[in-house]
Chain A
Amino acid sequence: MTETVSELAAFPTARDARCPFDPPAEYAELRAQEGTAALTCPVGVEARVVSRYADVRAMLADPNLSSHAAPSTHVVAGGVLDRPVAPGSLLNMDGPGHARLRRLLTPEFTVKRIQAMRPYIQGLVDDHLDALLARTGPVDLVADFALPIPSLVICELLGVDYADRDRFQEQTAVLVGTNSDPAALEQANLEVVGFMTQLVLTKMVAPTDDLLGRLIVRAGESGQELSVEELVTLGITLLIAGHETTANMIGLSTLALLRQPDQLDALRADPELAGTAVDEMLRYLSIVQFGVLRQATGDLTIGDETIEAGEWLVAALSAGNRDESVFPDPDRIDLKREATAHLTFGYGVHQCLGQQLARVELQEVFARLHQRIPTLRLAVPFEDIEFKNDALVYGVRALPVTWGDER
């Protein structure tokens, strides 16, 4: 490498405002180029950006990678790339330490266990739809539907007391919101950490039959006792990972489907279509919009190229999800497409632990929302919708909708 950083192009982050559902246009060019692209990133380092589907999978399956600066520190100007990994920070851990912790959690997220939560989730979705329908529009679908549902699912999973759920939900909404002012954010952060610490301490004394309680028992029984710090970090990781992502998917996919009436009609006519629709919308929207950052810990090969230890790599998940060699006509939403092999949940040992839960939540939302409110429509012009162009998880800030007779 003789090039200097200043000669390199910048990592693309800006979308074409006319196509807010499409990744930055440069990704198509990157896919067409040979090999990876060395680009400068806002955090101040050069990274090799991997954009083709097969290359992204090869990269993320390689053991010679560290996730210590994951998920997307490359786009954080002033971000710290060598921050020590906090104990319990599943997203950032590597190797056997990561595998051990993940394995303590996997029984909570099996297909079987998540299927058992489906009736609870159905009830939650129906309750929120009842509450919406008891009002007259417009309502903000993000604040009144997309945010509370995943938050309450996490409460159920973690075993938060019913009496505390309203407060918990308020504060986590501030925490994952992008409209929050810094003081409110700091306050919410303190409160959520305090809340999680209290929850962990309570369950350590008297473990209950919920994720945290069972995790504490399982870790103890296998001689891998987890510290308060690890449990709090894990709890908050699950909270953020399970809340923000699903909430943004609900808001953004509803908007995308409202803009694609033929597909929405098909879903209304056949709610069973929600099964494939969820993975197709995950593929199409790629909400972890800047991809995931890794650092090579040894030499590895991507295509014909050798990446050396120490180099930074970005798996551009949204670029791989639009790779036409795997997904024909990739820029089109096709709710019947078999898109399960998309990259939105990542790939390799860090692939989303909560993916089955996300699927079930989104399936129930997709199937029920449009059945119960078939006349759902935007209450503002499309041009007025604000997108989270800077957030690590893409979405809409608010989604004013209404229903009933057009007037």
Chain B
Amino acid sequence: MKVRIDVDACVGAGQCVLAAPDVFDQRDDDGMVVLLVENPPAHLEAATEHAALLCPALAIVVDR
């Protein structure tokens, strides 16, 4: 699995951090998304996909 984020689209809702805290974080200075793991291991794949589904700004793209 490969994850891409679009920081320009991000609205800082924090849904991805709640859904997959090992994969996503938020920058302290502006709350925008930070990708911690570009290729999440198998045990984080479901949570990563859920985060992409929850994102209100469609700022997370998951390629498998």
Contact = CB atoms under 8 A, between A and B. Distances in A.
Contacts of B12: 102-103, 106-107, 109-110, 353
Contact of A341 (B14, B27, B31, B53): B53
A325 interface: no
A340 B30 contact: no
A221 to B, nearest CB: 10
A208 to B, nearest CB: 19
Interface string A338-362: 0011000111110111011000000
A372 B19 CA distance: 30
A112 interface: yes
B17 A61 contact: no
B58 to A, nearest CB: 6
Given A340-B18, A353-B13, A356-B18, A103 B56 contact: no
A59 B13 CA distance: 18
Nearest to A343: B56
Contact of B57 (A107, A345, A349): A349
**A-side interface size class:** 20 to 34
A111 B54 contact: no
Given A111-B17, A353-B13, A356-B14, A106 B56 contact: no
A110 B57 contact: no
Contact of B11 (A340, A341, A351, A356): A351
Interface in B16-43: 17-19, 21, 25-32
A154 to B, nearest CB: 18
A247 B16 CA distance: 26
A341 B13 contact: no
A107 B19 contact: no
Nearest to A346: B56
Interface string A71-113: 0000000000000000000000000000100110011111110
B29 A107 contact: yes
A340 B51 CA distance: 10
A110 B56 contact: no
A367 B13 CA distance: 24
Nearest to B58: A61
A284 B9 CA distance: 29
Contacts of B18: 111, 340, 356
A400 to B, nearest CB: 35
B4 to A, nearest CB: 18
Contact of B19 (A109, A340, A356): A340
B29 to A, nearest CB: 6
Contacts of A340: 15, 18-19, 50, 54
A348 B56 contact: yes
B58 A106 contact: no
B30 A107 contact: yes
Contacts of B58: 61
Contacts of A61: 56-58
B57 to A, nearest CB: 6
Given A61-B56, A348-B56, A349-B57, A112 B28 contact: yes
Contact of B31 (A107, A345, A347, A349): A107
A99 B26 CA distance: 17
A355 B14 contact: yes
Nearest to A275: B18
Interface of B: 11-15, 17-19, 21, 25-32, 50, 53-54, 56-58
Given A110-B31, A351-B11, A351-B56, 7 more contacts: A61-B58, A107-B29, A109-B12, A111-B17, A112-B25, A112-B28, A348-B56
Interface of A: 60-61, 99, 102-103, 106-112, 114, 340-341, 345-349, 351-353, 355-356
22 contacts: A60-B56, A61-B58, A102-B11, A103-B30, A106-B11, A106-B26, A107-B12, A107-B30, A108-B31, A110-B14, A110-B28, A110-B31, A111-B14, A111-B17, A112-B25, A114-B14, A340-B15, A341-B54, A348-B56, A349-B11, A349-B56, A351-B11
The 10 closest A-B CB pairs, nearest first, are: A106-B31, A106-B12, A351-B56, A111-B17, A110-B26, A107-B31, A111-B14, A110-B31, A347-B56, A351-B13
